[in-house]
Amino acid sequence: MDCLFCKIAAGEIPSKKVYEDEQVYAFYDIEPQAPVHVLLIPKTHIASAAEITAENSAVVAHIFEVAAQIAKELGLDDGFRIVSNCGESAGQTVKHLHFHLMGGRTFAWPAG
Ligand code: AMP
Ligand code: ZN
């Protein structure tokens, strides 16, 4: 499958790794929108948050555990934001489920 994040998770395209285990890969976003901007992805291909089901949702829970751990390790003690853009109008550009973990600055709400 021609999927950028599948290739990154498989190590076929280089990335700046933050964390990896059997299910999850985390790496720095190439165009950071905050002082800390990490992407967390399942190693299995899930196209977007709209494709999460009872069968594949365990990895999503695991991603959030890993995100909390990374936030601690990177010193995001003042807070952080986790975002998943789903679909065109939300601005999803890579069609492999990913969670943006961002911190190191304040964030407006609601997000634009
Ligand atoms: P989204 O626009 O929500 O689908 O998020 C996709 C994110 O992937 C964007 O923040 C991009 O900057 C990031 N991105 C695209 N290509 C790469 C890459 N090769 N390595 C790291 N991050 C990437
Ligand atoms: Zn993929």
CA-nearest of 72, 77, 38, 42 to 56 is: 42
pTM score over 0.85: yes
Q: Is the CB of 82 under 6 A from ligand 1?
A: no
> In this predicted structure, what is the pLDDT of residue 57?
98
Rounded distance from Cα 46 to ligand 2 centre (Å): 6
Question: Residues 30-55: pLDDT tens digits?
Answer: 999 999 999 999 999 999 999 999 99
Please write down the long-range contacts of 47-53, taking CB distance under 8 Å and 24 or more positions apart. Answer: 47/95, 47/96, 47/97, 48/84, 48/86, 48/87, 48/92, 48/95, 48/97, 49/84, 49/86, 49/97, 50/86, 50/87, 51/97, 52/97
Rounded distance from Cα 11 to ligand 1 centre (Å): 16
Q: Is the CB of 53 under 6 A from ligand 1?
A: no
Res. 59 pLDDT band, cuts 50 70 90: very high
Residue 38 CB partners (closer than 8 Å, separation 6+): 18, 26, 27, 28, 29, 67, 70, 74, 100, 101, 102
